[in-house]
Amino acid sequence: MILRLFRHATLTVDVAGVRLLVDPQLDPKGHRDPVAGSPRPRRNPLVDLPEPPEAVVAGVDAVLLTHLHRDHFDETAAATLDPGLPIYCQPSDEAALRERGFTAVTPVAEQARHGTALLARTGGRHGTGELAERLGPVSGFMIGAAGEPTLYIAGDTIWHEEVAAALDRFKPRAAVVNAGGARFLEGDPVTMTAQDVAAVARHAPDTVVVAVHLGAVNHCVEGRLETRTQVDAAGVGSRVRIPDDGERLRFVL
């Protein structure tokens, strides 16, 4: 299994001959306003993609969407993707995707299969209290195939009992977590902080934790260096990978 980070939470996952594109944010640098009501107001995305959008989607067999916030599925992605390309999503997002012209949308209630790849949907919590309710439902996905390691895409969630339950149930070889401690001017973080990343690593000592969602959107207030410093200080740094944009990671059984 090969995972490649492009930017933020945008990944490709190559597993058993299938290439999945996860949460494509393909807008050019500075294309969108800052996230409303958030610190460090700078136009988003903060950085360019390492390759043009057409190169990111080249060879993709299907798309996996954890939710439809614009930093996970933006206008450039919608315009670049073939409307007939298979898309797997949480059930609440099916109608919106079909309204945008996508014709091969599969809502995943529990599990789905694309060729040799098995997809199992998991839960999460996009923040705390009323803020999490306003941000709406989010999902994660386990990705696996015969003879391949299992990969957990946690999605936009804080460290939460649903994340712990997914780790306990599936025991993934690697877990991709959306870090950065994304937040607004009021309320708690809505994605994992560095301390949350460390908590994932402590809870699942046989899992490699891959921290993404860093350095690309203005309301993510923790960067790669701060995340690295904190997970090292927590004593779990050897099991946390923090890839650069464009970097590939390989996982084996």
pLDDT at 34: 97
pLDDT at 68: 98
pLDDT at 253: 86
Would residue 44 count as lying in a domain? yes
Would residue 248 count as lying in a domain? no
Quick count: other Cβ atoms within 10 Å of Cβ 150? Answer: 21
Low-confidence ranges of the chain (pLDDT < 50): none
Domain count, the chain: 1
Name the residue range of residue 170's domain. 2-243
| Contacts for 61 with CB less than 8 Å, ≥ 6 apart | 18, 19, 20, 86, 114, 115
User: What angle is formed at CA 198 by the lines to CA 197 and CA 202, rounded to 5 degrees?
Assistant: 120
Would residue 74 count as lying in a domain? yes
pLDDT at 193: 98
pLDDT at 144: 96
pLDDT digits (tens, 9 = 90+) for 34-65: 999 999 999 999 999 999 999 999 999 999 99
Would residue 173 count as lying in a domain? yes
CATH number, domain with residue 226: 3.60.15.10
Would residue 249 count as lying in a domain? no
Residue 200 has phi, psi (to 5 degrees) of: -60, -45
Would residue 117 count as lying in a domain? yes
Would residue 224 count as lying in a domain? yes
Would residue 92 count as lying in a domain? yes
